[in-house]
Structure 1
Amino acid sequence: MNDPHVQQAAFTPMKAYRPFHSRFDPCRPIGLKFYSTPPQLYMGFQPPNLQQFPPKVALRKGTLWPALYDPYENPYEGKRG
């Protein structure tokens, strides 16, 4: 699959793939589908002495450790309309 729009399996928070579409499929092709890969998938274990957010910031971000913080960015935003 040498599609320039499809990202290879590397450390990227957002990956993409193109679903199979048969020529006999009555529906039009979907196009690219996206999925998120959180940082903990690439961390084999939690290293000791990781930097920590202050308590109030950690509550806002949803995690105590900046290394595990993964904000969601909608890849479909702006494509509708």
Structure 2
Amino acid sequence: MHTNRKSYRPYIGPCDPCRPIRVKYYETPPNLYLGYQPYGLQQYDPCTALKKGTLWPALFAPYSNPYKKREGEQENDGANA
């Protein structure tokens, strides 16, 4: 099974002026995994399609911010150590 969100670990240099982001994420569009559009693909009704931005559920990919802190999670920046 594929996933639309991919991640990688960038190089963090010893002289970087900013606090590092240890894992970076990027999104890939669902059409990369569809190949060609098959005949008779399921469709949303027009109102739902306008809200979701696509007519076909197979091409819908909701986005959630991977960098946003979750509830109850604390940021550990090393300043309190």
For Structure 1 versus Structure 2, the TM-score category normalised by the shorter chain is: 0.7 to 0.9
Task: Give 1:60 shift.
Answer: 0.3
Which residue, 12, 22, 27 being the options, matches 2:13? Answer: 22
Q: Take 2:16 and 2:64, find their aligned partners in 1: how far apart are those partners?
A: 32
- Alignment identity in percent? 52
TM-score (norm 2): 0.75
| Amino acid corresponding to residue 50 of structure 1 in structure 2 | L
Larger radius of gyration: 2
**Unaligned stretches of 5+ residues in structure 1:** 1-9
Across the aligned residues of Structure 1 and Structure 2, the Cα RMSD in angstroms comes to: 2.0
TM-score (norm 1): 0.75
Task: Give 1:26 shift.
Answer: 3.4
**Unaligned stretches of 5+ residues in structure 2:** 76-81
Task: Give 1:30 shift.
Answer: 2.5
1:40 matched to 2:31 = yes
Which residue, 62, 65, 68 being the options, matches 1:77? Answer: 68
Q: Take 2:61 and 2:16, find their aligned partners in 1: how far apart are those partners?
A: 38
